[in-house]
Amino acid sequence: MKVGAHVSISGSRVSSDDETPPYDDIRNAVHRQLAFGGNCGQVFTTSPQVWAQPEISEEAAEGFKEETDDELEGPWVIHSAYLVNLCTPKEDLRRKSTESMQAELDAAERLGIPYVNVHLGAHTGAGVEGGLDNAAGVIDDLEVPEDVTILIESDAGSGTKLGGKFAHLAGIIDRTETDIGICIDTAHTLVAGNDLTTPAAVDETIGRFDDEVGLEYLEYIHLNDSKHDVGTHKDEHALIGEGYIGEDGMRAIVNHPDLRNLPFALETPTEDGRGFAWNIEKVKELRED
């Protein structure tokens, strides 16, 4: 099973060698993933709250690739900065979003990471069709490395944000000339109006996704429970099995024949002393042979 967490690269470089000086390093992600019991996962290459370029030395990039190949099973994914808005009609924000995405794609190529995950963003008055056209334009302006794929993440669908409906995901695939994939966030999918609380509901939702988008585009899953119910459009993650999706829904998701072989990355909270290690172990307990 490919399951892991969104881990930080910040802080002192963790090493078994006491003589190694402390420094911030992308290689910290590998150690932290292993410490949580994960074998794949997600990272930010920079602070997601500011416009910043990834700063990764050649030594760190090569070390990250080697340690990943030696220690982990599944693929990493880079999550783009929160400020990126592919749908925006504003030229300055479009330019900054394009530059940020290009930097992440270039970093992914250097690190041997096959995916860069991004939200469509908000159309802010351009309308659904206009927003999707804007997003496709940004994607097609990017120079996507041969071994890297852009993943569009499903959204909770509040306000003018796009990605909450499967039709939005299908719409961006239809508009762009670039080969892209989809990352489904289970919490976002639930609160956007798609039931995932029972095996029958999971089957129905996956069937609709296949009909409207196509399972061949689904590359990664953000596995999160939700603190809010179906259709509320409130994005707040819960511990695995302890939110509105619950154990029955989560068990159905991680064992579904169309999903079980995909990589799962958790973005779950830390509550009551239970963090990523607890959540990953919970997922493994729900998995059936």
Confidence at residue 10, expressed as pLDDT on a 0 to 100 scale:
82
Confidence at residue 23, expressed as pLDDT on a 0 to 100 scale:
43
Tokens of 127: 């309308």
Domain that holds residue 181: 3-286
Residue 154: phi, psi to the nearest 5?
-65, 150
Confidence at residue 80, expressed as pLDDT on a 0 to 100 scale:
98
- Inter-residue contact 191 to 156 (CB < 8 Å): yes
CA 7 – CA 32 distance, rounded (Å): 7
Low-confidence ranges of the chain (pLDDT < 50): 16-23
Amino acid identity of residue 275, one-letter, is: G
What's the number of domains the chain is made of?
1
Quote the distance between the C-alpha of residue 187 and its chain's center. Answer: 12
Tell me how crowded residue 84 is: count the other CB atoms within 10 A of its CB.
23
CA 76 – CA 148 distance, rounded (Å): 11
DSSP helix/strand/coil, 118: strand
Burial-class residue 130 by CB neighbours within 10 Å (0-12, 13-18, 19+).
middle
CA dihedral of 127, 130, 132, 137, whole degrees rounded to 10:
-150
DSSP helix/strand/coil, 137: helix
Tokens of 259: 């999903």
Closest CA to 262 of 181, 168, 142: 181
| H helix or E strand, kind and range, residue 238 | strand 237-238
Residue 264: phi, psi to the nearest 5?
-115, 125
Q: How far is CA 287 from CA 42, 87, 106, 183, 195, in A?
A: 21, 37, 35, 20, 20
Residue 87: which CATH number?
Answer: 3.20.20.150
CA dihedral of 117, 122, 128, 132, whole degrees rounded to 10:
-40
| DSSP code for 144 | -
Exposure class string for 45-70: b at 16+ Cβ within 10 A, else e: bbeeeeeeebebeeebbebbbebbee
What's the predicted TM-score (pTM) here? 0.94
- Inter-residue contact 124 to 88 (CB < 8 Å): yes
Confidence at residue 15, expressed as pLDDT on a 0 to 100 scale:
52
